[in-house]
């Protein structure tokens, strides 16, 4: 469907750990170590899932890990907060206080000085949804520490400046770890920690509308055309190539995402059941 006229369009070069010389917003080739969609691992069977959960219950130091993926604007962060709120509303405040909520966005890798200069000068764009934009090794270390009942140092990320603004220490001995982000289910070594893998299935129009409202309603002025160009040539291709395929790994697919009260209630009840065992 591409034509000579479309391929000759001049778009800013996209930077996501590697320079892409074509107008395409995302690289079509991803290192195999990051490519969760082509790993030989198959989706877990119900028996394997049950075994994983039993391991969590019989190891008092190991928390239950729940990964929540989906596209930007699907409501992943809100879903996590809503789950915790539901647990607290049902009279299990102690359990709710022992839930650690991790944001994958906080694990973006920091830009080099050269990349930051190119970004500031408008010579490059940053594709925040490319797998190579994340420090999955750091996330793996954090999950490993939490799985042993230890506290962990977690970075905080400023999306506007593309920089880490500091570090926070989680509480030790969590009962539940909620980790959410667009590519939470992308890497096999991360999926191995997860007892429940969730994908929020929200239609693209709803997600786009939410992103427009959040972006244009935030601090500073954002040009609508620039935002939509980024969506069409960066965010949408990234979703289709990297995020959407991770749906195959989900144990639970939630239609309507954070608007699905029934599904969120069920997950909250699962956490309460865990706390009572």
Give Cα separations from 32 to 25, 130, 184, 186, 191 (angstroms). Answer: 19, 14, 16, 11, 16
Q: What would you measure as the largest C-alpha separation in the chain, in angstroms?
A: 63
> Tokens standing for 8?
């000759």
The crossing angle, in degrees rounded to 10, of helices 76-89 and 261-276 is 50
Residue ranges of the alpha helices (H) in 148-200? 188-191
Of the CA atoms within 13 Å of residue 241, those in its CB half-sphere come to: 19
> How many C-beta atoms lie closer than 10 Å to residue 6's C-beta?
9
Catalytic residue among 105, 106, 129, 195: 105
DSSP designation for 98 = T
H-type helices in the chain, by residue range?
4-7, 46-58, 76-89, 93-97, 113-120, 136-147, 188-191, 204-216, 224-230, 236-238, 261-276
273 is catalytic: no
Tell me the catalytic residues: 105
């Amino acid at each position: 469907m591409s034509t000579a006229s479309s391929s000759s369009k001049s778009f800013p070069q996209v930077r996501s750990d590697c320079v892409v010389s074509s107008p395409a917003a995302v690289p079509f080739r991803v290192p195999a170590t990051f490519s969760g969609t082509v790993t030989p691992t198959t989706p877990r069977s119900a028996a394997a899932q049950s075994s994983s959960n039993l391991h969590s219950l019989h190891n008092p130091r190991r928390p239950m890990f729940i990964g929540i993926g989906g596209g930007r604007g699907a409501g992943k962060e809100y879903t996590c907060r809503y789950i915790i709120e539901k647990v607290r509303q049902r009279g299990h405040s102690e359990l709710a206080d022992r839930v650690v909520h991790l944001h994958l966005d906080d694990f973006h890798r920091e830009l080099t000085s050269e990349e930051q200069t190119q970004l500031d000068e408008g010579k490059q764009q940053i594709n925040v949804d490319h797998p190579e934009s994340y420090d999955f090794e750091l996330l793996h270390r954090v999950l490993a520490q939490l799985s042993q009942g230890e506290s962990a140092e977690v970075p905080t990320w400023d999306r506007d400046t593309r920089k880490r603004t500091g570090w926070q220490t989680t509480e030790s001995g969590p009962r539940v770890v909620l980790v959410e982000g667009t590519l939470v289910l992308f890497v096999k070594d991360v999926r191995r920690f997860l007892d429940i893998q969730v994908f929020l299935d929200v239609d693209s129009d709803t997600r786009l509308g939410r992103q427009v409202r959040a972006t244009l309603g935030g601090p500073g002025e954002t040009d609508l055309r620039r935002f939509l160009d980024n969506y069409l040539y960066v965010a949408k291709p990234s979703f289709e190539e990297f995020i959407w395929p991770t749906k195959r790994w989900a144990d639970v697919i939630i239609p309507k995402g954070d608007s699905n009260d029934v599904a969120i209630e069920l997950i909250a009840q699962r956490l309460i059941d865990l706390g009572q065992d």
